[in-house]
Amino acid sequence: MEKQKKKNTMDEKSGLDDQLDQAQLIEETGSVRSEHSKHLIHCLNIIGQVEGHMILPEDTKTTKYEHVLPALIAIEQDRSVEGLLILLNTMGGDVEAGLAIAEMIAGMYTPTVSLVLGGGHSIGIPLAVSADVSMIVPSASMTVHPVRTNGLVLGVPQTVTYFEKIQERVNQFIMRNSHISAKTLDQMLLNTQELATDIGTVISGEEAVACGLIDRLGTLHDAVETLYHLIETAAPRYPDA
């Protein structure tokens, strides 16, 4: 009887430790692992603004790229993690930081599925299309607009050239990882009829799929089932192991 009580106490302590570890993981990286499921998948949230080299105010909801990058490395090398589900609800943020995260995701062997919830605006678009399969809920939207900056910039030709090169990098990444054409993407970027104080285009979930930017419409259930399918049909990562 005493042994059983001791075992129950240890089990409760272990469960509490697991909950604390999970809570710390969510707080620090916005991610969580689902271990009691059909396949072991890791869920990564990209929310608010993507924070890059500049620290944003404390009252701003952010995704810190210095947390996300090592998390992606850990996921890629962890043999127990079978898939990565990326949930996006972001207004954009630091272009180079967002593009760095997108390149990391696109270069992973681990099967990946992204799901846009609410919004996947600005640099959120490369993040959404970086997954093996990109999905969006019907109520979500995406804003396609040229690279821009806030604050003081030098009004010289070199500055214009710099932004043109950044925009080209973003465009090439989007086209490599989606089915949108260069012509359609340019039309959306340079649209002057939709946004009152800016140029660009806001598209719904259905429109994002229709133009080839996102692969398909879907719900959370659809995204999980799609990820399971990718896991089950993928070639073995370590065939000789």
d(CA 182, CA 108): 25
Residue 31 carries which DSSP code? Answer: E
Instruction: Return the structure tokens found at 197.
Output: 């104080």
Residue 30 identity (one-letter amino acid): G
Walk along the chain (241 residues) and give the pLDDT tens digit of each residue.
555 555 555 555 554 455 445 445 444 544 666 667 789 999 999 998 888 777 767 767 778 888 999 999 999 999 899 999 999 999 888 888 999 999 999 999 999 999 999 999 999 999 999 999 999 999 999 999 888 655 444 444 556 677 788 899 999 999 999 999 999 999 999 898 887 667 899 999 999 999 999 999 999 999 999 999 999 998 887 666 5
Task: Give me the residues paired with residue 201 across strands.
Answer: 144
Regarding beta strands 62-64 and 83-93, do their DSSP bridges make them parallel or antiparallel, or are they unpaired?
A: unpaired
Q: pTM (2 decimals)?
A: 0.81
Please name the residue that has the structure tokens 């229709």: 210
Please name the residue that has the structure tokens 């809920």: 137
Burial class (CB in 10 A: 0-12, 13-18, 19+), 150: exposed
Helix or strand run (H / E) with residue 16: helix 2-29
Residue 26 confidence (pLDDT): 46
The residues annotated with a catalytic role in the active site are 122, 145
Burial class (CB in 10 A: 0-12, 13-18, 19+), 67: middle
Residue 154 confidence (pLDDT): 42
Residues 127, 88 contacting (CB under 8 angstroms): yes
Instruction: Return the structure tokens found at 203.
Output: 């598209």
d(CA 213, CA 134): 9
Task: Give me the residues paired with residue 31 across strands.
Answer: 44
Instruction: Return the structure tokens found at 142.
Output: 């995406």
Residue 21 confidence (pLDDT): 55
Q: How far is CA 231 from CA 41, 148, 151, 220, 225, in A?
A: 10, 38, 45, 17, 10
d(CA 139, CA 206): 9
Residues 160, 133 contacting (CB under 8 angstroms): no
Helix (H, G, I), strand (E, B) or coil at 231: helix
